[in-house]
């Protein structure tokens, strides 16, 4: 299993860089993951989404899709794409240290 190092600690990730054990994540890792994911510096808007992703994951066992994020996080889909241009649900999940959202088939 691939390993990444954030905030000086080794964590387990999958081939796309998503945490496989959200328990290994700490808040001080988020800025480094964000740089890896091409997001740049994390502002309050980013944190609002990241915190929401973690809360949803602990409640439901999977991160929300971008459509559900737009309906429930208080941040519109348009704003979500401004914060995380390459795919809000996936990028925010990665920064939040949770597995890739399952989505629907």
Partner 1 sequence: MTNRVVVLGGGTGGTLVANRLRRRLRREDAEIVVVDADDRHLYQPGLLFVPFGLARTEDLVRSRRAQLHAGVDFVEGAIESVDLGEREVRIARSEPIRYDVLVVASGAVLQPEETDGLTGPGWGEHVLTFYEPRGAAALAAALDRFAGGRVVVDVVDMPIKCPVAPLEFAFLADWYFRRRAMRDAVELVLVTPLDGAFTKPVCDRELSGLLRAKGVEVVSEFSTGAVDGRGRRIVSYDGREVPFDLAVVVPLHGGAPYVARSPGLGDELGFVDVDEHTLQSPRYPEVFAIGDAAGIPTSKAGSVAHFAGEVLVENVLAVLRGNAPIARFDGHTNCFIESGFKKALLIDFNYETEPLPGHFPGPVGLPLLHESRLNHLGKRAFEWVYWNALLPGRDLPGVGSRMPVRGKARVPAGSRVGV
Interface positions with partner 1 (CB under 8 A): 64-68, 71-72, 77-78, 80-81, 85-87, 102-105
Answer yes or no: are the C-beta atoms of 29 and 97 closer than 8 Å. yes
Query: In the 8-state DSSP scheme, what is residue 101?
Result: P
Sequence-distant contacts of 77-83: CB under 8 A, at least 24 apart: 79/45, 80/49, 83/39, 83/45, 83/46, 83/49
Q: Looking at 1, 15, 104, 105, which residue is catalytic? A: 104
Nearer to partner 1 among residue 3 and residue 105 (C-beta): 105
53 counts as catalytic: no
Nearer to partner 1 among residue 64 and residue 99 (C-beta): 64
Give least dist CB 27 to partner 1, A.
26
- Partners of 19 in the beta sheet? 13
Nearer to partner 1 among residue 37 and residue 68 (C-beta): 68
User: Rounded to whole angstroms, how far apart are CA atoms 4 and 97?
Assistant: 12
Give least dist CB 8 to partner 1, A.
33
Give least dist CB 84 to partner 1, A.
10
User: Rounded to whole angstroms, how far apart are CA atoms 57 and 54?
Assistant: 5
Could you list the active site residues? 104
């Amino acid at each position: 299993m691939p390993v990444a190092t954030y905030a000086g600690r080794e964590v387990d990730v999958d081939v796309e860089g998503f945490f496989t054990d959200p328990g290994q994540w700490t808040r001080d890792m988020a800025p480094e993951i964000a740089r890896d994911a091409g997001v740049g510096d994390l502002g309050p808007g980013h944190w609002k989404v990241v915190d929401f992703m973690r809360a949803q994951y602990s409640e439901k066992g999977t991160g929300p899709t971008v459509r559900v994020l737009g309906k429930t996080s208080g941040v519109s889909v348009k704003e979500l794409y401004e914060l995380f241009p390459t795919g809000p649900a996936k990028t925010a999940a990665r920064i939040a240290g949770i597995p890739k959202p399952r989505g629907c088939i």
